[in-house]
Amino acid sequence: MTNYKDYSYFLFRVLVGLLFLQHGAQKLFGVLGGTKVQLVSLFGLAGIIELFGGLMIALGLLTRLAALFGIADMVGAWFIVHVSQGWIPILNKGELPLLFLACFLILIAYGPRKWSVDNLFFNK
């Protein structure tokens, strides 16, 4: 697996970014089975973070910053939406925000790496 770590991390980053982007599209445009929310609201802000943060993560553009905003979004989702239904993630349907949070921690730790917009401009 060591030979494929760059490929697997690239795939991980793109998948996490595109999945996060979909949540933003649901909130902002009411597509993919979602309900459109008001842009100037807490859920509207979450949609903006998810749409643009997901796109930035998928492209590898300011990945760590986008992941940091993603963490803030997921912590907010956990406490605003899920904790009121209890603390156990599988019972309060909060496993997805926690899974995204874990993914964002990995993205912050490793950054954009190969095949990213950041790598084109900030190649060390």
The DSSP string of the chain is -GGGHHHHHHHHHHHHHHHHHHHHHHHHH--TT-----SSSHHHHHHHHHHHHHHHHHHTSSHHHHHHHHHHHHHHHIIIIIGGG-S-HHHHT-HHHHHHHHHHHHHHHH-S-SSSHHHHHS--
Higher pLDDT among residues 32 and 122, named by residue: 32
Arithmetic mean of pLDDT, 99-117: 95
Tell me the pTM: 0.93
Q: Among 80, 83, 49, which residue's Cα sits nearest to residue 66?
A: 49
